[in-house]
Amino acid sequence: MFHIGFVVVFLGLGAHITFIKGLTGLSSHNLPTNLIVVVGVITLASLVAALVRRLINPVQRLISTFDDYSTWLVTVLPLVTGLAAAAHFGEHYENTLAVHILSVELFLIWLPFSKLMHMVLFVFSRGMDRGTHDTSRCEGLRRVYV
Amino acid sequence: MNDKALANTGNSATARFDLQRDMSDDERLRHARQAFAGDFDSEIATYISACVHCGLCAEACHFYEVTGDPKYTPIHKLDPFKKAYRREVGPFAPIIRTFGLVPSMTLADLEEWEVLIYDSCTMCGRCTLICPMGIDIAELVKNARHGMYEAGLVPERLENITRNAENRHSPFGTKEDFTKAIQTIEKEFGIAIPVDKPKADILVTVTPGDLEEDHASVAGVARIMEKIGADWTYSSDAFEATNFGFLSGNLPLQRDLTMRIIDKAVEIGASTLLLPECGHAYGAARWEAAEWYGGPTPVSVLHMVEFLDKLIADGQITVKSVGGKTATYHDPCQIIRRGGLEAAPHRILDALGYDLHEMEDHGSFSYCCGGGGGVLANARAEPLRLKVFDLKRSQVEATGVEHFVTSCGQCRLSFNKAGKTRN
């Protein structure tokens, strides 16, 4: 749920598109800002639900580590500050926006040291289930063709 | 066993574990750490780092499903292994050690986890299949067992059988015991069974269960071989298909047992190494032999079901139809989910004319019988194993069929044993 929300909010908001265009020259149409705010709130709600589940589900509580909670916070901050900026919360819009940008930077710094790496590693992890096992017939997938 | 182990083999409700070999606690811990570290490679690093602690594997695990106890969450069974990785070799290991961010693995951890790693995991891989990150948890448990074995922390019954495989050739017995058993079967069924032919095209292997109780399956193989005019033999030097090194975590033994049958097949010029209906034997030989051999094996390793399927397809044998009797097929985890051999048994059942009624969870999602991965051999695990078996039993009974069919010797033993206790 929040995975989809992040993609929509990140790629759909006009301000984000302007920012990406400035960096890479790539551009696309934007979604209405009001819709983005709704999606952002839903995303935030699902992240809160994910945290609540982590806290009350006995299995998840048992296997959770510091990483799970710190990463949750680092993930939630850009969303909260972004929504605040969109709502022009606070006296100076520039300050709110600066806090938003800083929170994204924190997210990017935290990424390689945490479970956020799953966004890269899942490709390799899933890929390894196939391939490495059958060196005798090079079929890759554990599937017997007879 | 030392005093500490004896103190723990009673009915104590808390930590219950077995210890082997005389070692100080420090030595045990060091051995476990070294073996864990020896297993850590890029594959394990990726698996451990990719876990997002979502807990979905719990619901895939029959041990969790029947108990509802979070300690049976598959990834939790690997906690000491993961800790060792993070502290010793992970990318941030020096920082983690300096600041003590991950507590050091203790012997008490390993003793507590012995039950989780051996008694409550059949390495059936249902968790592997469900994991959204594709982490092969079953394989990681097998890796963790290497360290447990080195630390002398293996369930006593499993270790005893493993020692028999090491010292007497097979859990069944010595070469002489094998020769005697074959002679008994020859007399019993009035057939001739070739043993130790110097050259043969097919080397056939067997499980202890077949030699002990299920003589009809050995005789059946001999009759089929005779019918198709195969050039085949058993070898008293390499008759054992099961691999208790694979199950107990004794890695050198696993290599020796695999290489023993592969080398023998090469020596007699065989093109095919035929495995009996045994699940983990299939995993060990079919999917891991090339690793020990160091390249593609020169003989093709076939499960009995694959072999029969081929014979039926080629018209070399014909089977009598049972005329639409109802049956259900239990998919053995090592052969179907982790072995990929799903189509062949279904074609054979078709050829036999069975009216197949699948269970609620079948194919790759089938629940394990609860006896695989050395759990059936591990006597102290029985109460838990029977609980897990009941899950399977309820699914079998729900199909309401006349016949129950499976293609794994260990599953069959597990069903037979549980059947005796439960009915």
Residue-wise pLDDT for A21-41, tens only, equals 888 888 888 888 889 999 999
Q: A126 and B75: CB-CB below 8 Å? A: no
Indicate whether B129 belongs to any domain: yes
Domain that includes residue B356, residue range: 326-422
**DSSP H or E segment with residue B36:** helix B25-39
B71 close to A (CB below 8 A): yes
Within a domain: B126: yes
DSSP B374-418: TTTT-GGGHHHHHHHHHHHHHHHHHHT-SEEEES-HHHHHHHHHH
Asked whether residue B133 falls in the same domain as residue B10, the answer is yes
ipTM over 0.90: no
A141 shares contact with chain B (CB less than 8 Å): yes
Domain end, chosen from B313, B341, B375, is at B313
- Residue B337 CA to residue B280 CA, distance in Å, equals 12
Do B149 and B250 meet the contact criterion of CB atoms below 8 Å apart? yes
Let me know: does B279 contact B410? Beta carbons within 8 Å.
Answer: yes
Kindly report the length of chain B.
423
B93 bridge partner residues: none
Residue B160 resides in a domain: no
How far is CA B72 from each of CA A114, B10, B93, B225, B280, rounded to the nearest angstrom? 25, 22, 27, 45, 22
Question: The tokens of B203 are what?
Answer: 């080397």
The last residue of a domain, from among B120, B154, B188: B154
A123 to chain B: closest CA residue: B133
Range of the domain at A99: 2-113
Convert the pLDDT of each residue in A73-97 to its tens digit: 999 999 999 999 988 887 888 899 9
Q: Is the pLDDT of residue A135 over 50?
A: no
pLDDT at B108: 87
Q: Classify residue A127: in a domain, yes or no.
A: no
Same domain (yes/no): B25, B46: yes
Together in a domain, B269 and B340: no
Q: Is B285 exposed, middle or buried (0-12, 13-18, 19+ CB in 10 A)?
A: buried
Q: Is residue B170 part of a domain?
A: yes
Same domain, B140 and B18: yes
H or E segment and range at residue B301: strand B300-303
| C-beta atoms of A124 and B296 within 8 A | no
Statement: residue A141 has pLDDT above 80: no
- The answer on B261 and B174 residing in a single domain is yes
| Average pLDDT by stretches of 10, chain B with 423 residues | 42 62 87 89 89 94 95 95 88 86 86 92 91 90 93 92 92 93 95 95 94 92 94 95 94 94 95 93 89 88 94 92 91 89 91 94 90 90 92 92 90 84 61
* Domain presence at residue A26: yes
Residue A142 has pLDDT above 80, yes or no: no
Which of A132, A136, A142 is facing B296, going by the closest CB pair?
Answer: A136
Q: Which chain B residue's Cα is nearest to A62?
A: B70
Question: Alpha carbon B258 to chain centroid distance?
Answer: 14
Tokens of B382: 């029985």
* B318 domain-assigned: no
Q: Based on the fold, state whether residues B100 and B190 are members of the same structural domain.
A: no
**Is residue A123 in a domain?**
no
CA-nearest of A77, A95, A96 to A85 is A96
Q: What total of structural domains would you count in chain B? A: 3
Is residue A80 included in any domain, yes or no? yes
Q: In this structure, are B276 and B370 located in the same domain?
A: no
Backbone angles phi, psi at A45, to 5 degrees: -60, -40
Please check whether residue B411 lies inside any domain of the structure. yes
Interface of A with B in 41-100 (CB under 8 A): 54, 57-68
Three-state secondary structure call for residue B342: coil
Which residues of A fall within a CB distance of 8 Å from B92?
Answer: 113
* CB-based contact, B67 to chain A, within 8 Å: no
Q: What percent of chain A has pLDDT over 70?
A: 88
Separation between Cα atoms, residue B361 and residue B111, nearest integer Å: 34
H-state helical runs in B196-288: 208-212, 215-228, 244-248, 251-267, 279-286
Domain presence at residue B117: yes
Largest CA distance in chain B: 73
DSSP secondary structure string for all residues of B318-335: ------S-EEEEE--TTT
Which CATH number characterizes residue B235's domain? 3.40.50
B289 at A interface, C-beta within 8 A = yes
* Same-domain check for residues B305 and B332: no
Whole-number pLDDT of residue B105: 85
Sheet containing strand B403-406, strands side by side:
B355-356, B326-330, B403-406
- The count of structural domains within chain A is 1
Same domain membership, residue B97 and residue B30? yes
Q: Same domain, yes or no, for B199 and B273?
A: yes
Question: Looking at the structure, do residues B53 and B149 belong to the same domain, yes or no?
Answer: yes
Q: CB of B137 within 8 Å of any CB in chain A?
A: no
Nearest to B356 by CA among B391, B329, B388, B392: B329
Q: Which of B313, B335, B356 is the last residue in one of the domains? A: B313
> What is the number of other CB atoms lying within 10 angstroms of the CB of residue A108?
12
Specify whether B134 is located in the same domain as B174.
no
Single pTM value for the model:
0.87
Q: Answer yes or no: is B159 within a domain.
A: no
Nearest chain A CA: its distance from B78 CA (Å): 10
CATH of the domain at B10: 1.10.1060
Residues of B in contact with A135 (CB under 8 A): 290-291, 295-296
Closest by CA position to A116, among listed A12, A3, A37: A3
- Closest-CA residue of A relative to B46 is A125
Cβ distance of B134 and A122 shorter than 8 Å:
yes
